[in-house]
Amino acid sequence: MTTEIKERIVGRSIKRREDPKLITGKGSYIDDIKLAGMLHVALVRSPYAHATITSIDASAALAVPGVVAVFIGNDMLDINPLPCAWAAGRVKNNLNTPRALAVGTVRHVGEAVAMVLAEDRYIARDAADLVEVEYAALPVVVDAKKATEPGAPQLHENAPNNIVMEWDCGDKAKTDVAFASAEVTIAEPIINQRLIPTPMETRGSITRYDEATGEFTVWMTSQAPHVMRLLLTAFVFGIPETKLRCISPNIGGGFGQKIFCYNDMAFTMWAARKLGRPVKFVEDRSENYKASTHGRDHITDAELAGTKDGTITGLRVKTYANLGGYLSTIAPGIPTTLYGRILSGVYKIPAAYCHVTGVYTNTAMVDAYRGAGRPEASYLIERMIDRYAAEIGLDPADVRRKNFIQPEDFPYDNGLGMLPYDSGNYEPALDKALAIAGYADFRKAQAEARQNGRYLGLGISSYVEVCGVAPSAWVGLAGEGWGAGLFESANVRVHLTGKVAVTTGSLPHGQGLETTFAQVVSDELGVPYDDVEIQWGDTQGTPFGYGTYGSRSLTVGGTAIKKSLDKIKEKAKKLAAHMLEANEADIVFEDGKAYVKGSPDKAKTLGEIALQASLAYSLPAGMEPFLDETSYYDPPNCTFPFGTHISIVEVDTETGRIDLKRYIAVDDCGNQINPLIVQGQIHGGIVQGVAQALYERAVYDEDGQLLSGTLMDYAIPTAEMSPHIETDHTVTPSPVNPLGVKGAGEAGTIASAQCVMNAVIDALAPFGVKHMQMPASPERVWKAIHQK
């Protein structure tokens, strides 16, 4: 028997196993799936932002050959509205959610009013144009602050002044005192503009209904199929969970937009059951823009108090959070728990207070979008600390350094009701980024450039974020309103042939989890990487898990796998003891083998143990056959990745264009399982934040028309609009989980928008510019320079 030691694979940048099928066009995305007898759906959508539906006449549509049915909201009153599963904790929430199709009133442009089902998609679209809907227009409000003013159009009877909730955190009294007695106070309005997530694949659902068993199968572009199964059965249809199987095929990006429970899941289920034929709906891009969720959209007054020599003494924030015409699945939790509680960022702020008003307006629903609350928070504190440094005439790097939470302060309680930050070492990351940026020389270069009429700017962003969402200790019943701890699950089976199959409740949609999970399993069990298979996506065959978002899959999902691996090893040791006729206490499991301490040459491989367990002839008394272990992991805390990003820009003062010359990212996500994959996540997140700083903005006019309704008007960056990114890292393992990982999926987005804006404002300082809203479009920059 060979005694070759398997090479360690965790920590190596190996190629992804997901790629061979994707690079050859063999992926299986929702629109690739075809079922026999399938009907295609085209939707009739409201052109009004706010109106009552007075009549719907589908007769012309029904007369088109190939059209099988037309259904409207009133047909589906036997199912419930979609649920809002996260009411902001401890406050009164006026919850209103959409139905499968609108009933009575439409509250945003693009809200679905009727569904046409036809034999092919072209016929369905033709027929949808023939459905006649009469509306009585109502007055419209799109601005969150204006919607709360007296006289504003009211969207929902149960939400006076369109207020969903009033929520706060921190210590108001202490903060007011800090401001009243501060040497320096600064106040700035901060707009975190509405964004449209724009995964390259839009959303869709396909439902097949089995009339004989009453069971539904729904293929869905979902980051959380188990959660969808729970919500659709328990809340919308009122049927047992066992009657719904949810399958997420390959998903073309999510960024949070694909977490939620959407109307197409419900109306394809309803229609498939009604008609006895499979039903498919896939939105086009304009539909995705009008009716799938948006992100951000905060209007904020931010204030910071401090001493003249750079010590922060207070932070006071008032935010209006636009939630849209209805509440999406977890909407109220984003601008509250995930925002307010991390506003102090990486700094020790002795007195902080945040008040948030969540508001209904006649716009698309707003919910989590990459970072979900944390980019809004880090944008605010990093913009304000730069503003503060400029106000007192101190170097922004020094002011940050002065106020950093120190390594010995962890676990750190930030006074805003967040769980304690797990670990952190902020200064080395800042120092590394400054060194890479050549900071020492930059200010000199900047001064020289200014003398020559060239305007360079440097922006720093030191961030911390909270991920590994979410421990029951935090979001559980008595806490933040979610009503469940967001645990994760894993089942590990070692088959008779020694091959290892892992099923997970996680839902990869680009993160490379099949690769990274297999790396962990391979090292832990000492089996060849190619012998490990990771399976996901189908609620039939995977244990219940909360899915992939919130940078949680390695921290929570990976740890669930680790726990199952530990159980497998324990059982393997027990069985090995029996096979070796030794004492269990004397058995060691290492590098895929179990042996008596001191006698590694008389080992049993995991394969041999698995075979014995599967054949089951000779097992110790009381031992069940097979190596099969399941774990559910509720983490004790979140994890807190951090880092510092720096960007350097040059402003063209004649055109207002920003040239983003360098972008440097130093990130600490704890231990790295696959550095190549970590870097990929950082790159993608950074470009989304850069895009918020320079290009993207979802715009509604006064009538609630979405002006940025296609890719022609909403500026998703191309390769040419994106910077070259220089990455480096520090490693501060998380003490929260045995893998020591902190999560990396959202950090790039959380750090980057303010990094670029701080650079732009730094460049424009000679023109008296102290603050600016995003995006720093050429028009806005030019005006800041040339108009006073």
Which CB, 511 or 754, lies closer to another protein?
511
Query: In terms of CB distance, is 109 or 380 closer to another protein?
Result: 109
Least separation in angstroms between residue 14's CB and another protein is 10
Shortest reach from residue 65's CB to another protein, in Å: 13
Q: Identify the residue whose tokens are 């210590």.
A: 171
Q: How far is the CB of 252 from another protein (least distance, A)?
A: 3
The stretches of 221-340 forming alpha helices (DSSP H) are 225-231, 263-275, 285-291, 337-340
**Within 13 A of 240's CA, how many CA atoms are on the CB side?**
5
- Is 3 or 710 the residue whose CB approaches another protein more closely? 710
CA distances to 69, 268, 276, 463 from 65, rounded to whole Å, are 11, 21, 19, 59
Interhelix angle 426-437/396-403, rounded to 10 degrees, is 170
3-state secondary structure 226-254: HHHHHHHHHHHHCCCHHHEEEECCECCCC
**Residues in CB range of 532: below 8 A, 6 or more apart:** 499, 500, 502, 518, 521, 522, 525
Q: Which is nearer to another protein, 17 or 273 (CB)?
A: 17
| Cβ 727 to another protein shortest distance, Å | 9
Tell which residue, 670, 53, 723, 734, has the closest CA to residue 419: 734
Q: Which residues contact 151 (CB under 8 A, 6 or more apart)?
A: none
Apex CA 726: angle with CA 723 and CA 727, to 5°? 130
Of 299 and 725, the one with the shorter C-beta distance to another protein is 725
Using alpha carbons, select from 450, 452, 317 the residue that is nearest to residue 376: 317
In whole angstroms, the minimum distance from the beta carbon of 217 to another protein comes to 20
* Residue 231 vs 646, nearer CB to another protein: 646
Q: For the CB of residue 115, give the shortest distance to another protein in the complex, in Å.
A: 19
Q: Which residues contact 212 (CB under 8 A, 6 or more apart)?
A: none
Work out how close the CB of 721 gets to another protein at its nearest, in angstroms, rounded to a whole number: 9
CB-based contacts of 173: which residues, under 8 Å, 6+ apart?
none
Q: Which helix (H) or strand (E) holds 17?
A: none
Category of 193 on φ-ψ map: left (φ > 0), alpha (ψ -120 to 50) or beta: beta
Nearest CB to another protein, comparing residues 187 and 711: 711
Burial of 622: CB neighbours in 10 Å, binned 0-12, 13-18, 19+: exposed
Angstrom distance (rounded) from CA 449 to CA 437: 17
- As measured in angstroms, the least distance from the Cβ of 47 to another protein is 17
- Collapsed DSSP state (helix, strand, coil) of residue 567: helix
User: Looking at beta carbons only, is 129 or 409 nearer to another protein?
Assistant: 129
- Least distance (Å) between residue 370 CB and another protein: 10
**Tokens representing residue 757 in the block:** 């804006």
Cβ proximity to another protein: between 12 and 174 the closer is: 12
Closer residue to another protein in complex, CB, 498/643: 643
Distance CA 332, CA 481 (A): 9
In the block, tokens 């055109």 appear at 655
User: Is the Cβ of residue 283 or residue 608 nearer to another protein in the bound state?
Assistant: 283
Comparing CB distances to another protein, the nearer of 336 and 674 is 674
8-state DSSP, 154: P
Closest CB 222 distance from another protein, rounded Å: 14
Question: Which is closer to another protein, CB of 369 or CB of 426?
Answer: 369
CA separation for the pair 731, 669 (Å, rounded): 7
Task: Let me know: does 371 contact 377? Beta carbons within 8 Å.
Answer: no
Provide, rounded to whole angstroms, the least separation between the CB of residue 698 and another protein: 15
Q: How far apart are alpha carbons 550 and 382 in whole angstroms?
A: 21
Q: Site residues (CB under 8 A) for another protein?
A: 15-16, 18-20, 22-29, 31-32, 121-122, 198-202, 250-253, 255, 284-286, 509-512, 676-677, 679-681, 683-688, 710-712, 716, 718-720, 722, 724-725, 748
Phi, then psi, of 27 in degrees rounded to 5: -65, 160
CB of 548 to another protein, least distance (A): 12
Task: Give the shortest CB-199-to-another protein separation in angstroms.
Answer: 6
